[in-house]
Amino acid sequence: MAVLKIYVAPHPVLKKKAEPVAGGVTKDLRKLLDDMLDTMYAYDGVGLAAPQVGVSKRILVLDIHQLKGDDVPPAEKRGEPQYFINPEIVWSSADLRIYNEGCLSVPGQYADVTRPDKVRVKYLDYHGKAQEIEADGLLATVLQHEMDHLNGVLFVDHLSTLKRDMLMRKLKKFTKDNEEDMAKNHIL
């Protein structure tokens, strides 16, 4: 069990296109997948992509069935974790869906994002086995959000320039206020 550090925008690792995993799913890679899941539960995220923990590889984890909230200890949050290595969208629906998205790398900020309602994704699973699924609803939204991270794209990049600039200014203030509170409370 290890909770990793989460990188926050505008850190450059979040803007980089991540490298595919070569050489299959090794023991070291599974350790990273386990640590990413621990980190996701610790921060109450629905999903987490490797670049968010500073690793520029095409890996993501998610669990849309977890129990959430600060009163639930991370060990009891586990619902149905899913692991995706080298995921690729092979089809997306013409019909769209709007969802109010947040991101652990853009803390405290939320905005409506429009994306395809359904996607087919092929990927390698935790055991290195090739899989293909059709996702809809929250799973489709979160998968697309996480796969954007692998291409250096954040949910704010789907907004108008005006909305994005406003949100990034609020993020800067949010981060600064947080740091000041931590200093005041002698956490740092």
**Region 93-152 residues binding Ni ion, contact defined as CB under 5 A:** 103
Nearer to ligand GNR, 110 or 185 (CB): 110
Q: Is 88 a catalytic residue?
A: no
Residue 87 contacts ligand GNR per CB under 6 A:
no
> Can you tell me the distance from the alpha carbon of 72 to that of 47, in angstroms, rounded to the nearest whole number?
17
Describe the strand order of the beta sheet including 59-62 as a list of residue ranges.
47-49, 59-62, 82-92, 118-124, 130-136
Active-site pick, 88, 132, 146, 179: 146
- Residue 63 near ligand GNR by CB under 6 A: no
* Rounded-to-integer distance, Cα 13 and Cα 162, Å: 24
- What are φ and ψ of residue 164, in 5° steps? -65, -45
Cβ atoms < 10 Å from Cβ of 169: 10
47 near ligand GNR, judged by CB under 6 A: yes
| Alpha-carbon distances of 30 from 44, 45, 112, 182, rounded to whole Å | 21, 19, 33, 34
Question: Applying CB under 6 A, which of residues 18, 29, 36, 46 lies at the interface with ligand GNR?
Answer: 46
Site for ligand GNR in 128-147 (CB under 6 A): 141-142, 145-146
Residues contributing to the site for Ni ion (CB under 5 A):
103
Write out the catalytic residue numbers: 146
Residues contributing to the site for ligand GNR (CB under 6 A):
45-49, 52, 99, 101-105, 141-142, 145-146, 149
